[in-house]
């Protein structure tokens, strides 16, 4: 059984979608292979904290501002992860870059969702970057985390239209709409072992993730 932690920094709508997915008995075939055991925020004011607690998930805050440097912050994260016997990490709006040291420790076992069609528009403000570039579609990308920023192997993507009237907020909200379906499904599939990795390419087994 894979035990995963959800790392987040803010609103926590993806965290909520993930927990709802695991709570829904109709998904048990894929979710049975893994269990969310810990919600971990680096911000004490993150909206996701109350969402995780409301669902009965153990929730901890490791405030990065309390540490002298990234290494000390990540050591504290690792202490929490070890205590909860976490085997996989799921980033959901976690706004701290993880150092190579941390990434190597969980090599191939960290997932993230990014609000753009990678490899386009990595980093912050995916929706704003898409609007500035004038692209007509954008979306979200679920990927493995490697030592770069949003550069790891892509697992799954969903596409949304970019409208002329869009602002970064409206596009970001539309992207989150598809993310809330795709990300939980992708996490469940990967943690159930339903994928093959060939170098930088990931092949999912079974039915498509972004269908009805």
Catalytic residues: 114
DSSP bridge pairs for 124: none
User: From start to end of the chain, where are the E strands?
Assistant: 2-8, 34-41, 59-61, 88-91, 110-114, 137-144, 154-161, 195-198, 201-204
Considering only residues 31, 34, 42, 113, which one is a binding residue for ligand GRF as defined by CB under 6 A? 113
Helix, strand, coil percent values for the chain (each to nearest 5): 40, 25, 40
23 backbone dihedrals φ, ψ, rounded to 5°: -80, -15
For residue 96, state whether it binds ligand GRF (rule: CB under 6 A): no
For residue 59, state whether it binds ligand GRF (rule: CB under 6 A): no
For residue 93, state whether it binds ligand GRF (rule: CB under 6 A): yes
Characterize 8-30 residue by residue with b for buried, 16 or more Cβ atoms within 10 angstroms of its Cβ, and e for exposed: bbbebbbbbbbbebbeeeeeeeb
Considering only residues 13, 41, 59, 157, which one is a binding residue for ligand GRF as defined by CB under 6 A? 13
Considering only residues 176, 186, 188, 195, which one is a binding residue for ligand GRF as defined by CB under 6 A? 176
Residues 208, 34: Cα–Cα separation, whole Å: 20
DSSP string, 23-38: H-GGGHHHHTTEEEEE
16 backbone dihedrals φ, ψ, rounded to 5°: -60, -45
For residue 179, state whether it binds ligand GRF (rule: CB under 6 A): yes
Residue nearest to ligand GRF (CB): 93
For residue 11, state whether it binds ligand GRF (rule: CB under 6 A): yes
Stretch 127-156: interaction string toward ligand GRF, x if CB under 6 A: -------------x----------------
Stretch 156-175: interaction string toward ligand GRF, x if CB under 6 A: -------------------x
Considering only residues 2, 10, 80, 151, which one is a binding residue for ligand GRF as defined by CB under 6 A? 10
Contact footprint for ligand GRF (CB under 6 A) = 8, 10-14, 92-93, 113-115, 140, 175-176, 179
């Amino acid at each position: 059984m894979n035990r995963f932690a959800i790392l987040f920094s803010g609103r926590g709508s993806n965290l909520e979608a993930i927990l709802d997915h695991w709570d829904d008995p109709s998904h048990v075939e894929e979710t049975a292979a893994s269990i969310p055991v810990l919600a971990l925020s680096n911000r004490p004011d993150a909206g996701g904290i109350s969402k995780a607690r409301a669902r009965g998930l153990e929730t901890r805050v490791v405030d990065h501002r309390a540490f002298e440097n990234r290494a000390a912050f990540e050591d504290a994260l690792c202490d929490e992860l070890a205590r909860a016997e976490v085997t996989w990490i799921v980033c959901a709006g976690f706004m701290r870059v993880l150092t190579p040291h941390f990434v190597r420790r969980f090599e191939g076992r960290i997932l993230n969702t990014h609000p753009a069609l990678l490899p386009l528009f990595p980093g912050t403000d995916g929706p704003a970057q898409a609007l500035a570039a004038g692209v007509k579609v954008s979306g979200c990308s679920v990927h493995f985390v490697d030592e770069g920023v949003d550069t790891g192997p892509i697992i799954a993507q969903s596409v949304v239209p970019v409208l002329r009237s869009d602002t970064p907020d409206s596009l970001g909200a539309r992207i989150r709409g598809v993310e809330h379906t795709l990300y939980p499904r992708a996490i469940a599939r990967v943690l159930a072992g339903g994928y093959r990795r060939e170098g930088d390419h990931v092949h999912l087994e079974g039915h498509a993730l972004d269908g009805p």
